[in-house]
Amino acid sequence: MTLPSPYISRPIQLESEWCNSEGQLTLGYYGVIFDRGAEGAFELMGMGAAYTELLRLSYYTAETHLCFVRPLHKGDKIVVKLQVLDHDEKRISTYQEIHHVDGWLAATSETLSLHVDLSGPKVTPFPSEVRKKIQAMTDAHSILPTPDRAGRHIELN
């Protein structure tokens, strides 16, 4: 199977409940959109809803860095692009961008996710089949340039 490079979500339409009285998307819903946008990519890497239900394994966000580039408004349609940056036996680093369907960049997110056994919960290695799928997506995304906004940190100077 050919993996998308980068992964691009299905279009998502912003819901009015996600917006403030000025019609702008509120801060918390950027996280919801990044989560929804990542679901399909994690499904391709073997970590979808069935994986969690059957094996009681999942992934938790350990760290994230959001950048807001241009505001989104009620009714806007967007897509989320995801690029796997790196991974090891228990962690995966991803970079995402929210794009308006007209093409402009609205926000970015760089995330470190941990693979978790929900019976603990405790951080645990990826099963070998999942690790192979993560490696396949990492390989597919290795042809992409490192995003300019990846690896950023907050500074005042």
In a domain, 1, yes or no: no
In a domain, 15, yes or no: yes
Burial of 27 (0-12, 13-18, 19+ CB in 10 A): exposed
Residue 39: give the domain boundaries. Answer: 7-141
- Encode pLDDT of 68-99 as tens digits: 999 999 999 999 999 999 999 999 999 999 99
In a domain, 118, yes or no: yes
In a domain, 152, yes or no: no
The CA distance from 14 to 9, in Å, is 14
Q: Domain total for the chain? A: 1
Confirm if 98 and 29 have CB atoms less than 8 A apart. Answer: no
In a domain, 44, yes or no: yes
- Encode pLDDT of 140-153 as tens digits: 999 999 999 999 88
Rounded to 10 degrees, what is the CA torsion of 100, 103, 107, 113? 90
- Encode pLDDT of 33-55 as tens digits: 999 999 999 999 999 999 999 99
Q: What is the CATH number of the domain that holds 29?
A: 3.10.129.10
Task: Over range 56-69, report the average pLDDT.
Answer: 96
Rounded to 10 degrees, what is the CA torsion of 18, 42, 143, 89? 130
In a domain, 62, yes or no: yes
